[in-house]
Amino acid sequence: MAKPKIFIADSHEVVRLGISFIIQCSHEFEVVGQTGSCHEVLRKAEELQPDVIIMEARMTDGNSIECCRKIKESVPKIKVIMLVTGNDDEAIFSCISAGVDGLLLKQFNSEELIRSIHMVLEGKALLDPSITNKVLDRVKNGQPKPQPKDVALLNPQERRILGLIAEGKTNKEIAQILTLSNNTIKNYVSGILSKLNFSNRAEAAAYAVRNNLMAYSKAVNDRRGN
């Protein structure tokens, strides 16, 4: 079975080499290329068709976030993990808006990196815990707060599914829990994102945490189990 392909983009060679070394030592993935130039990333993405791109959010020679948007438009199946610093709020929120599949603080260790790759390949929303808190704080203190009617737009099944998304469940796992087809869950998720005007699962997961929908989902599960 072919190993998932990884491409690395970072302005600093030592970072690229370090990430490549960690990935190669895992023996689970294949590093198909790397670059220090933001301008090369889209071309390499289209040429090499990697499964995951691990990319610095602040590459020195270009706009990494705009590059991510173009990748998502050109080759949407590619998963993108952005490497950010904890104090770079602008990059963090811009990355979420651009549709990244995961945000990882640059202070990661080898286990966190490998786990992050697995998570995005499984379709799970990846937000470093400290970034999740930052997202929630921004919404609570600096951004317009969603009105109660936002949650009211969702029916009980949609609320339950959104709670499961916040737990990091993939569509396949949600389908198994609810005994529904993968396509049905996919349609539910698309409907949820559309109703709440979110562009990706990471935004939806943060929203679900803030609105305590994980507790809602758990309560429904407990009732059904009794």
pLDDT in tens, 116-129: 999 999 888 777 66
The residues facing 103 across adjacent strands are 82, 127
Is residue 145 predicted with pLDDT exceeding 50? no
pTM of the model: 0.64
Q: Does residue 65 contact residue 27 with C-beta atoms inside 8 Å? A: no
The residues facing 34 across adjacent strands are 8
Domains parsed from the chain with CATH numbers: 5-138 (3.40.50.2300), 146-225 (1.10.10.10)
Give the 3-state secondary structure of residue 154: coil
pLDDT in tens, 153-194: 888 899 889 888 877 788 888 999 999 999 999 999 989 988
